[in-house]
Structure 1
Amino acid sequence: MREVVDDHIPVSDGEQPQGVYNSHVIEDHDTVTIETRRGFELTGSNNHRIRLPDGSWKRLDNFELGDEIEISGGNEVWSTDLVPIEWTNPESVTLDDVAEEAGVSVWTVMRYRKTGRAEKAEEIESAQRGTTVNHTSRTAR
């Protein structure tokens, strides 16, 4: 918890940014982490209070599955540091690309996507995934 409270970064009270004027770290104190259904994580000491939608407060260690918390929109509280991300724009594959790779018509690809059936179903699936079917490795039964 020390890395969270020692920086005294600005926080929002739901209406405007506020400075943290006091913090206290109790070594080896139990902490609780909750995750909202939208993926937000909140970690604090077990006795830290969280504001509820009705304006009341509840300790973190008293939360149960399904409880709701109040989350504001940030109120223009932004980081001053850029966060590097690694992301590659995925390559788009069109129906024409799939049809050409599978050796079928676009209509066959569309019919396969609707019904799940086609003479070259394996080739269409492979083309949609961007892989190649190796027919020489098939074994006859």
Structure 2
Amino acid sequence: MSEEQAQQLLQQMQMLESYFGELSQREGTLYNILREATSAIESLKSLKEKPTSETLVPLGMGTFAQTKISSADKIVLNIGAGISMEKDVDSAINYLEARLKEIEVALQDTSAKKQDASMRLEQGKEQMNQLMMASRSSSG
């Protein structure tokens, strides 16, 4: 293997490491969204069971105001691109569960890509080790 080939392999390894890092970050983001969606679904289900209850509303910077929920007939749901819709609780739960399934698929896809990148990184490391051993034996 020539020095030029070694440089190309090194560049490929660096690109793979960067790609692996991006996939790891995406995976973490998807896990956070998954937790948030699951929490929202559980909250809506409990709200449906007990529509009049006391709760805390976040105001920002760790500050909360205590309030009473007097009705859970309608929920305002952000559907993306800065657009929100008013839905009944069951429709909101169905929408969130559908989004949850999409997130799970994206998470599986990202995990598979991450595993593939990891395997390719290991192969590249093996090639680099073989190259280094071959260059040592030829120079020794």
Instruction: Answer with 1 or 2: which has the greater Rg.
Output: 1
Highest RCO, 1 vs 2 (Cα 8 Å, sep ≥ 6): 2
Asked if Structure 1 and Structure 2 have the same fold, meaning a TM-score greater than 0.5 normalized by the shorter chain, the answer is no
More strand per residue: 2
More helix per residue: 2
Name the TM-score, length of structure 1 as normaliser: 0.22
